[in-house]
Amino acid sequence: MIYYSHRTRKALAEGHVYLPLGFAHYSYGSVCQKFQKLFEASELAAEELMMPEIYASYADLGARGAARPLHVAFKPYEEIRLLKGAANVAHVAWEFDRLPTLGELAQDHPRRANPMNDYVRMLRLADEVWVGCTYTKQVFEGHGLGHVEVLPAPIETGRAPPRRRLAAGRVARMAGFELTRQAVAALVESTGAPRLEQATLLRAHETRAAGGRVFVSVFNPSDPRKNIGALLLGFQSFLRRQRRADLLIIKLVLADTQDALRLALREQMPRAFERIGVPFSFMDCANILVVPEHLTPDALSNLYRAADFYVCTSAAEGQGLPMQEAMAAGLVPISPAITAMADYILPGHAVVMAATRAPIPLQTAEAYGLGGLSWNMVDHREVSAALAAAAAMAPDEHERRARAAWQFIRDHYGFDVLRETLLARRKALLA
């Protein structure tokens, strides 16, 4: 028997099964959903346990006399709770080179009031810690945590490389807007529902039919890790220098498409450009389409099938699910090979961008109570050069890399291989 817990106190208080897109820690719910499918594929009965800490023993769950169960918590560090008597696992993500501990916090820092904000202490409570990449494992081991295993969220790949062409009748179903000054001003100043007039997939279909390249990226605009200023400025610079008709489709991860979209355009995206010393108003590109609406898994698959490349400019990631899913859909990744991406962004199937160490934003550092943190930033000029290299790639080389990217995800993140890893870890923990 496997129990899993994923709801945060906020989710429980507000009645959410999962925190909505764009909320803090919603990604833990996404990882949990993928593991639920892995449990099912492994023929393991799994049951949600919302508040494991309230039970004196797992026997109080009606499992008296049953074998000791496994409990996996998909939660942020301060939310980790144990099921007494079970084998407890914390599945967590981390992207920085140190973990917060109370000992290094200033005496007046508000995080000192809660001992659960000592991440090393919280991780030591678990029998085992599962992480999504080698980088995180190495950071944890540097803090003396010797019970860490790499067990990432599984990626569905299918038995053969997918056909990326869209089926007839599907190309027009997705609305977006061009990232021009006029369109941005209209969306920010409007008071009703946003007018999204671009048929995004149709535009992608027309671009590819004319011999152009379609690039896609998915991110939460409030997340400073994503380095979106470099991405957008780099694409605009590439397009103007090369005088090409290529297309970049940006899928924003937002709580909704009205107030959240205005917040993204009015505050979050301009703030991202401030970090690279360029005003957001410099962006004026009809070849960047922004899709703010929520997409179902099928709709997201349609978006990937309409594209040639997935672009990631993140300064740090704990696994990087959108890019891995794009690779599984047959896209060639363009990304730096840093943090989690170092595990799967390789020259044989990716366009690798160089990154430079830089301090993380002060606001991010202060949120964790950490000083002196750094991450890996890609410059917009590096983005522009990488896009040019990708656009110049011969069709047969693109096809070779796309198949190799799909194969790598299948071999290292597919259900078959991770099912074996899961069963091995369960056996070891319950021995």
**Domain hosting residue 93, numbered range:** 2-154+414-430
- pLDDT: which is higher, 102 or 428: 428
In this structure, the number of other CB atoms found within 10 A of the CB of residue 146 comes to: 8
Q: How confident is the model at residue 421 (pLDDT cuts 50, 70, 90)?
A: very high
**213-264: pLDDT as tens digits:** 999 999 999 999 999 999 999 999 999 988 889 999 999 999 876 788 999 9
CA distance 332 to 387: 12
Helix H or strand E encompassing 249: strand 247-252
Residue with tokens 């009205």: 258
With a cut of 60, say whether residue 40 has pLDDT above it: yes
- pLDDT: which is higher, 115 or 401: 401
Q: Is 231 part of any domain?
A: yes
How many contiguous H segments (helices) and E segments (strands) does the chain have? Answer: 15, 16
What does the pLDDT read at residue 413? 98
Q: Is 38 part of any domain?
A: yes
Q: Is 122 part of any domain?
A: yes
Note whether 202 and 245 are same-domain residues: yes
In this structure, the number of other CB atoms found within 10 A of the CB of residue 220 comes to: 19
The per-residue pLDDT of the chain, averaged, comes to 91
Q: What is the CATH number of the domain that holds 81?
A: 3.40.50
What does the pLDDT read at residue 197? 79
Residue 1 is given by DSSP the state: -
Q: How confident is the model at residue 20 (pLDDT cuts 50, 70, 90)?
A: confident
Q: How confident is the model at residue 407 (pLDDT cuts 50, 70, 90)?
A: very high
What does the pLDDT read at residue 330? 94
Note whether 117 and 217 are same-domain residues: no
CA distance 85 to 87: 7
Q: Is 168 part of any domain?
A: no
Note whether 380 and 425 are same-domain residues: no
**270-291: pLDDT as tens digits:** 999 999 999 999 999 999 999 9
**26-39: pLDDT as tens digits:** 899 999 999 999 99
What does the pLDDT read at residue 428? 97
Q: Is 425 part of any domain?
A: yes
What does the pLDDT read at residue 169? 55
Residues near 108 by Cβ (< 8 Å), separated by ≥ 6?
none
Please compute the mean of the pLDDT values over residues 112-117 and round it to a whole number. 87
Note whether 78 and 56 are same-domain residues: yes
Helix H or strand E encompassing 303: helix 297-305
With a cut of 70, say whether residue 342 has pLDDT above it: yes
Q: Which long-range contacts (CB under 8 A, 24 or more apart) does 267-273 make?
A: 268/221, 268/222, 269/221, 269/228, 272/221, 272/224, 272/226, 272/227, 272/228, 272/229, 273/229, 273/232, 273/233
What does the pLDDT read at residue 363? 81
Q: Is 160 part of any domain?
A: no
What is the count of structural domains for the chain? 2
Please compute the mean of the pLDDT values over residues 323-344 and round it to a whole number. 97
Note whether 419 and 388 are same-domain residues: no
| pTM of the full structure | 0.94
**130-187: pLDDT as tens digits:** 999 999 999 999 999 999 999 999 999 988 887 766 554 566 678 999 999 999 999 9
With a cut of 70, say whether residue 63 has pLDDT above it: no
**346-405: pLDDT as tens digits:** 999 999 999 999 999 888 887 787 888 899 999 999 999 999 999 999 999 999 999 999
Note whether 62 and 180 are same-domain residues: no
Q: Is 98 part of any domain?
A: yes
Note whether 70 and 185 are same-domain residues: no
What tokens were used for 76? 């942020």
Q: What is the CATH number of the domain that holds 268?
A: 3.40.50.2000
For residue 303, which of 159, 158, 156, 174 has the smallest C-alpha distance? 174
Note whether 257 and 361 are same-domain residues: yes
- What percentage of the chain carries pLDDT values higher than 70? 97
Helix H or strand E encompassing 120: helix 119-125
How deeply is 258 buried, as exposed, middle or buried, from its count of CB atoms within 10 A (0-12, 13-18, 19+)? middle
Q: How confident is the model at residue 101 (pLDDT cuts 50, 70, 90)?
A: confident
With a cut of 70, say whether residue 64 has pLDDT above it: no
Note whether 390 and 258 are same-domain residues: yes
What does the pLDDT read at residue 402? 96
Note whether 305 and 419 are same-domain residues: no
Range list of H helices, 126-274: 134-142, 181-189, 200-209, 228-242, 259-263, 269-274
Judged by average pLDDT, the poorest of 105-119, 167-181, 271-285, 328-342 is: 167-181
DSSP string, 273-297: HHTTT--GGG--EEEEEEE-S---H
Note whether 78 and 200 are same-domain residues: no
CA 112 to chain centre: 29
What does the pLDDT read at residue 11? 87
What are φ and ψ of residue 75, in 5° steps?
-145, 160
Note whether 301 and 396 are same-domain residues: yes
Please compute the mean of the pLDDT values over residues 307-334 and round it to a whole number. 97
Q: Is 170 part of any domain?
A: no
